Amino acid sequence: MDMDILLFLQEFRNGAGAFLTDFLSKMTFLGELNSALVIMAVLYWSVSKELGAYLLMGWSGNRLVNGALKVTFCAYRPWIRDARILPYGNSMTTATGYSFPSGHTMNAATVFGGGALRRDLPRPLRIALGVIVALVAFSRIYLGVHTPQDVLVGTAAGMLVMALILRLMQWIAAHPEKDVLVVCVGTALGIAIAFYARLKGYPEDYDTEGRLIVDGVKMANDTFKGVGYCVAFLIGWLLEHRFVGFSTEVPLAQKLTRAVVGLLGYYAVSLILGALLKVWLPGPAGTTLSCFLQMFYVAFLFPLCAKQMERRRAAA
């Protein structure tokens, strides 16, 4: 059934539906890992620290869930399962990880679905955020990179995690002294998933020429990324909460400065330091550490630097 739906949409996309392709490719961009992280970082630094922390916490949980499910079910991408599937663009060479569940969809469920769950946001905004989640999910099917099952489970799992995290953040607000417990439990879970992904066996299917169709160890990279992001956020969030305590209740010019300077630093960390780490420390360790560094910068290092710089400027 899944393949039949993808083939129908593929035929439509290549014919009468070509006008939708550019629009839906832009929608799928909103579900990319870096798009999601940049949006959440700006919210956390410059718009609402509380909202940003909630989304980042939820995203950390969703990355763990997505990574654990991917290496558990080891579902191949649609074009590997059926050679008739020809996804749009260069997805066959750029797609990472196993197919189930969709990572883009879970990212969208975090950033936009998480906002849609917030009753303190205006209802029209919540509806618009829900529509974006649906569009990102549909774009993954329309472009031929995921099956309906991938995106339906991804959406459901992502929204469930965000609902649970919303309750967790409310509980932490009522019991702030329990933040260390949350960090310890989350970190232990992340480490356990990392060992699970590293030690488990993966399918070894070969083509007619004897070549391995999918390298399971490489596919597990998405799981190690999730562990790095999650552990870094939890530690950074705790350190910021205990020792920095920055606020987003600042003038507009200060908000804009934070966003611009923070993003410049983020791209330097992710594109330069992260790349160097992967060269110096190849394999899962380098992947995990690179992602740890990116998120630790977002959650703790930049808020610390921003507060110190703003304090000195105010004292000058």
Confidence of residue 105 (pLDDT cuts 50, 70, 90): very high
Question: Average pLDDT in the 134-149 region?
Answer: 93
Query: Which residues does 58 contact at the CB level (< 8 Å), separation at least 6?
Result: 110, 114, 161, 162, 165, 166
> What Å distances lie between residue 41 and 44, 80, 132, 303, CA to CA?
5, 35, 19, 10
Q: Count Cβ atoms below 10 Å from residue 247 Cβ, excluding itself.
A: 8
* Confidence (pLDDT) at 201: 86
Interval 288-300: pLDDT, tens: 999 999 999 999 9
* Confidence (pLDDT) at 93: 66
Confidence of residue 102 (pLDDT cuts 50, 70, 90): very high
Using the predicted structure, report yes or no on whether residue 220 has a pLDDT greater than 90: no
If you ran DSSP here, which 8-state letter would residue 75 be given? P
User: What 3-state class would DSSP assign to 212?
Assistant: strand
If you ran DSSP here, which 8-state letter would residue 90 be given? T
Count the helices and strands in the chain (H runs, E runs). 17, 0
Is the separation of the CB atoms in 216 and 172 below 8 Å? Answer: no
Is the separation of the CB atoms in 151 and 141 below 8 Å? Answer: yes
Using the predicted structure, report yes or no on whether residue 94 has a pLDDT greater than 70: no
pTM of the complete model: 0.92
Indicate the Cα dihedral angle 155, 160, 166, 172, nearest 10°.
-130
Domain hosting residue 229, numbered range: 2-315
Query: Which residues does 221 contact at the CB level (< 8 Å), separation at least 6?
Result: 96, 97, 284, 287
Beta bridge partners, 206, equal 212
Using the predicted structure, report yes or no on whether residue 17 has a pLDDT greater than 80: no
Interval 232-257: pLDDT, tens: 999 999 999 999 989 999 999 999 99
Number of structural domains found in the chain: 1
Q: Count Cβ atoms below 10 Å from residue 81 Cβ, excluding itself.
A: 15
